[in-house]
Amino acid sequence: MLVGVLSQIVEFRNGESGLHVQHIRVLTEKILDHLLEKTSDYKISAEDQDNIPLASALHDIGKITIDENILNKPGRLTKEEFEVIKTHCMQGANMLRRLENFEDEPLLQTAYDIARWHHERWDGRGYPDGLKGNDIPISAQIVSLADVYDALTSERCYKKAFSHETAMRMILNGECGAFNPLLLECLTDIQAELQKKL
């Protein structure tokens, strides 16, 4: 309940329809389920399986600290503005860590990992910490891919929506970052299902 309220506040401030958080949750759940069918390489408990899609709703919680003129700017951000936007990862992680029951609440710890590291890249060229490969928590890797897919296929104040086909081509060609090859396989495998669900 509270997670939903907080995520909708971010959506409202971010000038988005409110569907973004729902889409991220569905995408995260589907990619995660398929990953677990494909491999047992990742230590993902039943609790994690519930918590990761739920915590995905808070991936952009740090954006409530970003100036609205930058957050909702139509058109390209300047280098300086982009540096400001990038701070939302640490801002969100710090907010979550400061919550009273953080130490006892696995959901908040998962939300922390996702908020902090969902802009890291498989090749180590992401932010804020430049983590590489599986040094990035799998929860953040999954939400990162879900976030990019939804951003591409949704209309934003600065762009029109791309078709599913165009979005998939851009992601698989590496035009939108570098992702875990296994997660790209998962996304490819479930694409027909995603088109029905979203």
Note the pLDDT of residue 20: 80
Question: Are the beta carbons of 120 and 148 closer than 8 angstroms?
Answer: no
How does 84-99 read in b/e, with b if 16+ C-beta sit within 10 Å? ebbebbbbbbebbeee
Domains, in order of start, for the chain: 2-195 (1.10.3210.10)
Give Cα 70 distance to the centre of its chain.
Answer: 20
Q: Rounded distance, CA 24 to CA 26, Å?
A: 6
Distance spanning both ends of the chain, measured CA to CA: 22
Residue 107 clears pLDDT 60, i.e. is over it:
yes
Q: How much is the average pLDDT of 40-64?
A: 94
Percent of the chain with pLDDT over 70: 90
The model's pLDDT over 132-150, given as tens digits with 9 standing for 90+, comes to 999 999 999 999 999 999 9
Active-site residue numbers? 63
- Say if pTM beats, i.e. exceeds, 0.85: yes
Percent of the chain with pLDDT over 90: 75
